[in-house]
Amino acid sequence: MTSHLARAFDRRRACGHQPEPSRILPLRQPVAKRALPIREALEWAFGAECASLDFAEDKGDNVRPGVSPLWTVMQRGALGCSIDGGGHSLPAHDADIIASAVANLPRDLGGRGMAVQIAELARAGAAPDWGADLRPRCIPVGWKGENQTGPQAVTEVVRIETVTLRGRSRDFPVLACPVTYTASPARIMTARRQYLEWVEALAWLAEDLTKRGILDRVTIAPGLPEAEPWARVADERRAG
């Protein structure tokens, strides 16, 4: 076999065959990072990438906050363990890191309850309802019918008045209409407070992810949801 190879090389030399020059592959260009405000980054992570919260990161084999669950998958693979679930691709690395930051939200910012709310709102591409449609209105508690003057509210007797006329006494019932408010000031304030707490939590997440600097393809751009949208709506209503 060695002699056959030697003769083949001799024939190639005789024919003037020259070896092909080696090709130098171009350097791989770095991937440009996407700049996303924190709300858009959350919607991308939980909505587009379907990242999920893992509140057990501080237990087991993924004990480092801010580390992608992909590390856990890699460790299982190294041990020959099967991967739980299946049927869909894993979220992007940056999406897992963002989800990890949400799962580790401090307790004074709402902790796990706020984390779940942030994830659910991000998947829906929505913000907390701050009560845009809530207006205090005084209305009757019920209606009993309608006549030529319009709908008639339910009334009740609050007391009996006795009137004496020409020596005769007559009792007259005093009627009142029970009312209720469609949106109490307390309810409106609660909705606005919950909205502000959500904005505060997003501000913390933006600062935390920026300080860590561990996102590969996403960077957190400046910009938070509107702090007090009710003030703008009130100005628009007055102007209109």
Query: Using N-to-C axis directions, what is the helix angle for 93-103 and 185-212, rounded to 10°?
Result: 130
* Mean pLDDT in residue range 40-64: 79
Q: State the DSSP string of the chain.
A: -HHHHHHHHHHHHHTT--PPPPPPPPPPPPPPPEEEEHHHHHHIIIIIS-----TTTTSTT--STT--THHHHHHHHHHTPPPS--SSPPPPHHHHHHHHHHHT--GGGTHHHHHHHHHHHHHHT------TT----EEES-EEEEETTEEEE--EEEEEEEEEETTEEEEEEEEE--EEESS-HHHHHHHHHHHHHHHHHHHHHHHHHHHH---SSEEEES----S-HHHHHHHHHHH-
Neighbours of 112 (CB within 10 A): 14
State the pLDDT at residue 170.
87
Comparing 97-101, 184-188, 193-197, the range with the smallest average pLDDT is 184-188
Average pLDDT of the chain, as a whole number: 80
Amino acid at position 168, single letter? R
State the pLDDT at residue 16.
55
Secondary structure of 107-121 in HEC code, one letter for each residue: HHHCHHHHHHHHHHH
* Mean pLDDT in residue range 32-37: 88
State the pLDDT at residue 115.
96
Residue-wise pLDDT tens digits, 137-192: 888 888 888 888 888 888 899 899 888 888 888 888 988 999 888 888 888 999 99
Q: Which percentage of the chain shows pLDDT scores above 90?
A: 40
